[in-house]
Amino acid sequence: MQDELTSQLPELLPGLRRFAFSLTGSMADADDLLQSTVERLLDRRVPEDVALAKWAFRVCRNLWIDEYRARKVRQQAAEQPELSEGQIVDGERAVAGEMELERVNRAMHQLPDEQRSILSLVALQGLSYKDVAATLEIPIGTVMSRLARARAALCDALNTPPHKQARTAH
């Protein structure tokens, strides 16, 4: 099974990288997540009864959830008044080459994690509903309802003029 991993991993990397970017919204964070995912894939044995691609996407998603939770804890700690004095503001910011791509990215990140990951797997990775359900270990009906809500929310966000989005975001 490890030989299968090393032979199929190069083919999975572009899709995993797109998925990581859809979760993080930052190319630097996506590359870090991709690296962590590949390390985890190489360190652990692939379960016998699981397709490699499904397992790889699940590992990536689970690592992102862990990182996201850790970031929330760090952010809460940083927001405490006794810790905020003298903090250095991180000036690094992802710059999108196209305005429309940036709008879609912002809209995607307004979606709840569950909706965003399903939308990414279906729309960006081209997985079937059945494969998404198996990858995320949820019923296919849940995939369909979350996907419908994600698409509707994304359409609403993209059809709202940018100047109104700024007001409603606050």
> Counting every residue, how long is the chain?
170
Joined tokens for residue 149 = 């809500």
How sure is the predictor about 123, in pLDDT bands with cuts at 50, 70 and 90?
confident
All structural domains of the chain: 1-94 (1.10.1740), 96-170 (1.10.10.10)
Q: What is the pTM of this model?
A: 0.51
Q: What percent of the chain has pLDDT over 90?
A: 16
Name residue 167's amino acid: R
Q: Compute the distance between CA of residue 105 and CA of residue 120 in angstroms, rounded to an integer.
A: 11
Q: What is the mean pLDDT of residues 123-152?
A: 89
Closest CA to 149 of 113, 124, 125: 113
* CA-angle at 21, arms to 24 and 71, nearest 5°: 15
> Treating both helix axes as pointing N-terminal to C-terminal, what angle do 27-43 and 2-24 enclose, rounded to 10 degrees?
160
pLDDT of residue 94: 35
